[in-house]
């Protein structure tokens, strides 16, 4: 801790020198340096300003000269500034040189304010000499300024209605950035699903409801409703708008309007998945650039910036000030823990033991995942063969959800054997293993029903019912099992504090739950359009239950760590899940035969609707031959290889630019050292004279 505090003092003492002479890590400082070296004349003017910039150092190092303290001394500085900028080419260049001279003077803020006010008065008195801009430029500038103000006003207005803003700030203040990052990711998925609900309901579900109740052929359900149907998705819900098989393959006619359901179903699903893909890809790329690329060279003066630049001066209430202070405290604690983390080099024997332990643990987890996949396949096959038993479907859903809940705890216990030094590394490894568990479970589920397509009358509805049951029981477990576990541990700690520890918020387990739920939603949306409403309601209820449990029953983690890159990891996981789901659905659309139900029952493959109905392609056409040729595995592999070569080229170019940046940084450091040496010699020479 003492070393970290010493580092803070050193950074505070040298922050001005580093910002002005020795660093190009920030874009503004690097662009300023590059701008000052555009021409030889600008360089000469900048060099002439060195004497002015170092005038304070002369007075500081020279005992015979008095310090600058009076307004008359400020006038002397102003006159010297005006003399040095008189040779500037234009007023813009002169203004920049004045600002640089004012910034680099090692004087008090009082003197700098006096100099600035005097310069502003002189500028106003010389206002007649300034050139005026034309009407066109003035109009353009006015529009740009008006647009910027309007944009800022809209953003400020929207921020006042930001959903769950206060809860997020409270979580960040009490539990740190890692927990707050998880809940921000939770909220982003809620909004994404809410956006998906709107088109699927208005363009698919609502037209089918109108057709079933007010169309030419009114559909009447023959089966009576049973409360068990809510949990199984069978009975009266089988032939309802909840599942794929209920939707018609004909044109809906309401009065004089016609609505083609097959085209609307396919186009709405396509737009929903593509928009989700675009939103996630943009968010992932933005987060990756912010947390990995822009911070690749390492952050400078992090302690000084965190102490002096973290406070929000727009805070107007005591509660907000207390909350902001808590947030800054946790951020400083995370930085100090990262700074004080041990950096000892392990011995060869210790590294060998660690590698062997990691290999054994990963091999064990691999066999466990293979066993889960095999057991799930047998369970699903038994479910299909015993279709008459109405409870077998619920048993399958319960077993799968219990697997999702229990085995992450097993992965966490096994992970203790690996003894990771960094809590962030342990979190990343456990999260990756839990995501693999989720991929295995959902992958086996989808693969089984696709391979059983020819054996089931309406396999799309059966798959939709299977996913519906998983979502329902996952909803029950997430609102009953997880919160009750935390509450029971909290009560035990309250009554027996010496025996039981209070619970900590397990980000691994909750992240698995939300990603598992989101992947089920993406894979089930195509087979159950109304599933989006169920998932949105589930996330809304889960948000309040989870935040209540965290705020009232959990304690902050004993091992703090910065979560700057955790948000990027969450987004990457969700993005990869979406890509796998879209790949699977693409295979279903192109290669799996449709059954005798649903909006595409008139086509052998859903792809035929796209090929014949939308694109109007027939067998033997040149465009169709080109599409078939381009989609061959060899051509696709060649395209992927070319993309990999492009990525390799861009990576090599980035590495070369990093090397150039390091070279320029070293050049600036050497130049700063030369300046310091010359200033020292000049000071000694002045004292000797």
Print the SS3 string covering 436-454.
Answer: HHHHHHHHHHHHHHHHCHH
Distances (CA, A) of 406 to 409, 473, 487: 6, 15, 18
Distance CA 106, CA 514 (A): 54
pLDDT at position 531, please? Answer: 92
For residue 620, pLDDT over 50 is answered with yes
Best CA proximity match to 80, nearest among 101, 108, 64: 101
Cβ neighbours of 432 (radius 10 Å): 14
Crossing angle of helices 566-591/177-200, nearest 10°? Answer: 30
Give the dihedral sign, CA 514/520/526/532: negative
Q: What is the mean pLDDT of residues 46-74?
A: 43
**pLDDT tens digit string along 408-448?**
888 888 877 777 766 677 777 888 888 888 888 888 888 88
Separation CA 260–CA 276 (nearest Å): 24
What is the three-class DSSP state of 504? strand
Q: What is the percentage of the chain residues whose pLDDT exceeds 90? A: 10
Residue 22 predicted with pLDDT over 70: no
Is the pLDDT at 25 greater than 70? The verdict is: no
The number of beta carbons lying within 10 Å of the beta carbon of residue 232 is 20
Residues 687/63, Cβ–Cβ less than 8 Å: yes
Contact between 232 and 469 under an 8 Å Cβ cutoff? The reply is yes
Residues with Cβ < 8 Å from 12, sequence gap 6 or more? 304
Query: For residues 168 and 180, is the Cβ–Cβ distance under 8 A?
Result: yes
Under the banding of pLDDT at 50, 70 and 90, the label for residue 540 is very high
Closest CA to 596 of 450, 445, 461, 468: 461
Q: Which residues lie closer than 8 Å to 627 by C-beta, 6 or more apart?
A: 617
pLDDT in the model for residue 443: 87
Per-residue pLDDT tens for 339-379? 776 666 667 877 788 888 888 888 999 999 999 999 888 88
- pLDDT, residue 535, reads 92
Mean pLDDT to the nearest integer, 248-256: 81
Q: What average pLDDT does the segment 74-97 reach?
A: 73
Q: Label residue 431 exposed, middle or buried (CB < 10 Å: 0-12, 13-18, 19+).
A: buried
Q: Which two tokens stand for residue 510?
A: 């909750």
The pLDDT of residue 273 is above 90: yes
Which helix (H) or strand (E) element contains residue 428?
A: helix 423-451
DSSP classification of residue 258:
E
Would you say 393 and 237 are in contact if contact means Cβ atoms under 8 Å apart? Answer: no
Confidence of residue 57 (pLDDT cuts 50, 70, 90): very low
What is the greatest pairwise CA distance in the chain? 110
Residue 391, pLDDT > 60, answer yes
Segments in 106-258 forming alpha helices (H):
109-125, 135-160, 165-175, 177-200, 206-214, 229-232
Residues in the chain: 689
**Rounded distance, CA 43 to CA 195, Å?**
55
For the cut 80, the answer to whether the pLDDT of residue 318 exceeds it is no
Distance, first Cα to last Cα, the chain: 47
pLDDT at 256 over 80: no
Tell me the pLDDT band of 63, cut-offs 50, 70 and 90: very low
Model confidence at 15: pLDDT above 50 = no
Q: What is the pLDDT of residue 14?
A: 40
- Please compute the mean of the pLDDT values over residues 293-316 and round it to a whole number: 68
Q: What secondary structure letter does DSSP report for 128?
A: G
Residue 654 CB neighbour total at 10 angstroms: 12
| Site of tokens 């004349």 | 41
| 52-56, 315-319, 661-665, 677-681: the lowest-pLDDT one | 52-56
Please indicate whether residue 418 or residue 646 has the higher confidence score (pLDDT). 646
Mean pLDDT within 249-260:
81
* 484-495 average pLDDT score: 83
* Cα(418)–Cα(426) distance, integer angstroms: 9
Tell me how far the alpha carbon of residue 109 is from its chain's centroid.
40
Mean pLDDT over all residues of the chain?
A: 76
Q: Return the structure tokens found at 152.
A: 């800022």
**Is 34 a residue whose pLDDT tops 50?**
no
Average pLDDT over residues 375-401: 75
Whether the pLDDT of residue 398 is over 80: the answer is: yes
How many CB atoms lie under 10 A from the CB of residue 198? 11
Burial 319-335 (b: 16+ CB within 10 A, else e): eeeebbebbbebbbebb
- 15-19, 243-247, 557-561, 580-584: range with lowest mean pLDDT: 15-19
The reported pLDDT for the residue numbered 60 is: 34
Q: How many Cα atoms sit within 13 Å of 42 on the Cβ side?
A: 15
- The answer to whether residue 536 scores a pLDDT higher than 90 is yes
Q: What does the alpha-carbon distance between residue 95 and residue 82 come to, in Å, rounded to a whole number?
A: 10
CA 480: distance to chain centroid?
29
Sign of torsion, CA 411 416 419 423? positive
Higher-pLDDT residue of 565, 378:
378
Confirm if 514 and 437 have CB atoms less than 8 A apart.
Answer: no
pLDDT in tens, 194-223: 999 999 999 999 988 888 777 655 454 556
More confident call, 211 vs 23: 211
Q: At what angle do helices 261-288 and 177-200 cross, to 10 degrees?
A: 160
d(CA 373, CA 395): 17
DSSP state of 65: S
Q: What is the CA radius of gyration of the chain?
A: 33
pLDDT of residue 37: 38
Burial 356-390 (b: 16+ CB within 10 A, else e): eeeeebeeebeebbeebeeebeebbeebbeeeeee
Query: Do the Cβ atoms of 674 and 50 come closer than 8 Å?
Result: no
Write phi, then psi, for 251 (nearest 5 degrees).
-80, 125
Question: Would you state the structure tokens that stand for residue 585, as one six-digit string?
Answer: 């659905």
Q: How confident is the model at residue 639 (pLDDT cuts 50, 70, 90)?
A: confident
pTM of full prediction above 0.85: no
Average pLDDT, integer, range 580-603: 86
pLDDT band at 11 (very low <50, low <70, confident <90, very high): very low
Phi/psi for 300 (5° steps) reads -105, 140
Helix and strand totals (H; E) in the chain: 26, 2
pLDDT of residue 52: 40
């Amino acid at each position: 801790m003492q070393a970290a505090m010493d580092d803070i003092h050193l950074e505070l003492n040298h922050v001005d020198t580093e910002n002005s002479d020795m660093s190009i890590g920030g874009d503004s400082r690097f662009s300023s340096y590059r701008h000052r070296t555009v021409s030889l004349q600008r360089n000469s003017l900048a060099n002439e300003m060195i004497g002015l910039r170092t005038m304070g150092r002369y007075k500081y190092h020279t005992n015979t000269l008095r310090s600058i303290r009076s307004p008359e001394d400020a006038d002397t500085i102003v006159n010297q500034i005006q003399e040095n900028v008189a040779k500037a080419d234009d007023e813009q260049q002169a203004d920049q040189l004045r600002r640089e001279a004012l910034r680099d003077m090692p004087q008090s803020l009082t003197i700098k304010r006096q100099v600035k006010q005097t310069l502003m008065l002189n500028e106003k008195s010389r206002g007649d000499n300034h050139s005026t801009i034309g009407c066109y430029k003035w109009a353009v500038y006015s529009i740009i300024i008006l647009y910027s103000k309007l944009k800022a006003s809209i953003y400020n207005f929207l921020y006042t209605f930001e959903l769950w803003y206060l809860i997020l700030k409270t979580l960040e203040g009490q539990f740190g950035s890692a927990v707050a990052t998880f809940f921000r990711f939770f909220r982003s998925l809620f909004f994404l699903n809410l956006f998906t609900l709107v088109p699927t309901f208005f363009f698919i579900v609502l037209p089918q409801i109108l057709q079933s109740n007010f169309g030419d052929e009114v559909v009447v359900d023959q089966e009576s409703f049973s409360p068990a149907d809510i949990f199984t998705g069978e009975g009266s819900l089988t032939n309802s708008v909840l599942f794929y098989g209920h939707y018609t393959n004909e044109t809906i006619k309401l009065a004089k309007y016609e609505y083609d359901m097959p085209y609307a179903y396919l186009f709405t699903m396509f737009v929903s998945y593509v928009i989700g893909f675009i939103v996630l890809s943009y968010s992932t790329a933005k987060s990756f650039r912010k947390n990995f690329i822009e911070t690749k060279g390492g952050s400078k003066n992090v302690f000084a910036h965190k102490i002096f630049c973290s406070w929000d001066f727009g805070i107007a209430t005591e509660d907000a000030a207390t909350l902001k202070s808590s947030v800054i405290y946790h951020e400083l604690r995370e930085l100090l823990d990262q700074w004080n983390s041990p950096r000892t080099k392990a011995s060869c024997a210790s590294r060998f033991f660690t590698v062997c332990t990691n290999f054994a643990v990963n091999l064990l987890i691999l066999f466990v995942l293979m066993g889960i996949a095999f057991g799930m396949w047998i369970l699903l096959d038994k479910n299909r063969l015993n279709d008459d038993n109405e409870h077998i479907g619920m048993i399958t859903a319960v077993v799968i959800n219990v697997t999702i809940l229990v085995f992450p705890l097993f992965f966490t216990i096994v992970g203790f054997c690996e003894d990771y030094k960094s809590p962030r590394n342990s979190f990343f490894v456990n999260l990756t293993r839990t995501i693999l568990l989720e991929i295995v479970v959902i992958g086996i589920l989808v693969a089984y029903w696709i391979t059983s397509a020819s054996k089931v009358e309406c396999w799309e509805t059966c798959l939709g019912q299977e996913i519906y049951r998983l979502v329902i029981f996952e909803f029950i477990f997430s609102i009953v099992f997880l919160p009750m576990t935390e509450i029971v541990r909290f009560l035990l700690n309250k009554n027996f504090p010496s025996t039981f520890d209070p619970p900590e918020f397990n980000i691994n387990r909750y992240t698995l739950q939300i990603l598992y739920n989101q992947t089920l939603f993406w894979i089930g949306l195509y087979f159950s359009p109304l599933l989006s409403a169920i998932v949105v309601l589930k996330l809304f209820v889960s948000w309040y239950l989870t935040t209540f449990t965290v705020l009232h029953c959990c304690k902050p983690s004993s091992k703090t760590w910065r979560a700057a890159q955790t948000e990027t990891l969450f987004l990457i996981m969700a993005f990869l899940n979406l890509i796998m789901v879209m790949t699977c659905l693409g295979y279903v659309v192109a290669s799996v035969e449709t059954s005798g139900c649903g909006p595409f029952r008139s086509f052998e493959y859903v792809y035929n609707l796209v090929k014949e109905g939308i694109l109007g392609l027939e067998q033997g056409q040149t465009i169709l031959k080109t599409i078939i040729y381009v989609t061959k595995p060899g051509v696709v592999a060649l395209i992927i290889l070319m993309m990999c070569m492009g990525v390799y080229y861009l990576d090599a170019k980035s590495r070369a630019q990093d090397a150039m940046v390091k070279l320029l940084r070293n050049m600036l450091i050497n130049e700063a050292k030369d300046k310091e040496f010359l200033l020292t010699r000049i000071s000694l020479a002045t004292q000797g004279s």
